Amino acid sequence: LKERYDGIINSNFSLIDKIYWLIEECKRYGTLPFAGVARAAFVAMQLLNSLVEIDFITKEEKDDFLNSLNTVSKNLSKQTNHLNFHNKDQFLKDFGHLRAGTYNILSPRYDEDFELYFDVDQKDSKVYLQDKAFVFSEEKTKALNALLREHGLEINVCEFFDFLKQAIEGRELVKFEFTRLLSKAIVYIEELGKYYGIEKEDLAHLDIKSILNLYSSLYSINPKEQFVEEINRNKKEYELTQAIKLPSLLCNADEIFSFYNHSIIPNFITQKSITAFTAKENDKDLEGKIVLIYAADPGYDYLFTKNIAGLITCYGGANSHMAIRASELGMPAVIGVGEENFEKYLKAKKINIECESEQIFCL
């Protein structure tokens, strides 16, 4: 994937061709393998959680295992700990393509607005991660071997944990690599917008298919006119969708007109309790606060360098990136609270998170 990325950006292709092939290669060699690896990671987390449910291991032991993994995010945190003006260029070469909101053209990349995400002069922003091997006692190893055989899994304990490790680490790695292509394509789309005199805020309303069509089609009118016409139409549709409230899952057509809100069960990370003032992702002062973000994607890893107290996300599940990151760091977090609850928490100045009893209180 990296070779194909380098081949495209160093080629003499036109801007349109580069956008087309970055996205095409991203689909073929990035998101397609990711679908398989992500499924394996979901299975791995389900197996790990099932060991907790049957009281074979504790939640603390589960967190210890996750802490022992060598993920992309852990590597990012380690490099952030030693970030300075001398190694800044190498850091951005490795991680500069990340952005808060992987698919959002309005969100700058790390290498486009470094100061927004990181402060190399901040001395107390280190995220301390210990490289500690996860080890089972001989007694538990024998018991788990028997448990695996009992459930028809023809593997031993070492092979079992090796699968968990490879699946969870692999999910992060593949996503990290394919977002490099996607992020660069977004940069080129922004350049295309400048060429046609279209603002980035307007490009956010343009369907990617309209840009990709330029690769193989001839427009009877100027592409800019085509883009502007579609942008204006999509803006009106966006305003309409903002005025419509739908359930998270549509089960039948009648629910478009009326529906009952289903209760959402968020995912509480760690067994800790925390009480702190709240902050939104764009706030300047995040230290010691519970930060609320909508998505749970890798671009928000910079938050862990800001000495935050906790995290709440609107979307995301138990196996999402931020859930795993919070487990690694032992940080209290609530992942996937749902839109209705999230809006309520956004209005709260102070929040108490009780992870062990799985409760959130607005103070």
Residue extents of the structural domains in the chain: 2-70+131-187, 267-362
Report how far apart the first and last C-alpha atoms of the chain are (Å, whole number): 48
- Phi first, then psi: give them for residue 268, nearest 5 degrees: -95, 130
pLDDT at residue number 73? 82
Contacts of residue 328, Cβ cutoff 8 Å, sequence gap at least 6: 66, 67, 69, 71, 73, 74, 129
SS3 98: coil
SS3 279: strand
SS3 295: coil
- Average pLDDT score over residue span 249-278: 88
- Mark whether 151 is an active-site residue: no
209-236 tens-digit pLDDT: 999 998 887 666 788 999 999 999 999 9
pLDDT at residue number 123? 52
Give the ranges where 27-156 is alpha helix by DSSP (H).
Answer: 32-53, 59-67, 72-81, 88-95, 114-117, 138-150
Spatial strand order of the sheet with 267-269 comes to 267-269, 333-335, 310-313, 290-293, 273-280, 350-354, 359-362
- Look at the alpha carbons of 58, 165, 133, 356 in this order and tell me if their dihedral is positive or negative: negative
In the 8-state DSSP scheme, what is residue 298? G
CATH of domain 267-362: 3.50.30.10
* pLDDT band at 130; cut points 50, 70, 90: low
Strand stretches in 130-219, DSSP E = none
The pTM for the full model equals 0.84
- How far is CA 191 from its chain centroid? 25
* pLDDT band at 122; cut points 50, 70, 90: low
SS3 287: coil
Q: Would you say residue 126 has pLDDT above 70?
A: no
**Long-range Cβ contacts of 85-92 (<8 Å, 24+ apart):** 85/120, 88/114, 88/120
3-25 tens-digit pLDDT: 999 999 999 999 999 999 999 99
26-70 tens-digit pLDDT: 999 999 999 999 999 999 999 999 999 999 999 888 888 988 888
- Average pLDDT score over residue span 282-305: 87
Structure tokens at 201: 């805020």
Q: Would you say residue 262 has pLDDT above 90?
A: no
180-192 tens-digit pLDDT: 999 999 999 999 9
Lowest mean pLDDT among 106-120, 149-163, 208-222, 310-324: 208-222
Q: Please tell me which residue in 82, 97, 151, 321 is annotated as part of the active site.
A: 321
Structure tokens at 313: 């996300």
pLDDT at residue number 163? 96
- Average pLDDT score over residue span 193-203: 95
- Give the whole-number percent of the chain exceeding pLDDT 70: 96
pLDDT at residue number 178? 94
